[in-house]
Amino acid sequence: MKKYLPLGTVITLKGTEKKMMIIGRYQISDGKSYDYSACLFPEGYLGKDKIYVFNNADINEVYYIGMQNEEEFAFRKALIELQEKKESEENKENKE
Q: What is the arithmetic mean of pLDDT over 24-52?
A: 93
Burial label, 5 (beta-carbon count in 10 A; 0-12, 13-18, 19+): buried
Per-residue pLDDT, 15: 96
Q: What is the arithmetic mean of pLDDT over 38-46?
A: 96
pLDDT at 1 over 60: no
Q: What mean pLDDT, rounded, does the chain reach?
A: 91
Per-residue pLDDT, 2: 65
Which residues touch 72 (CB under 8 Å, ≥6 apart)? 6
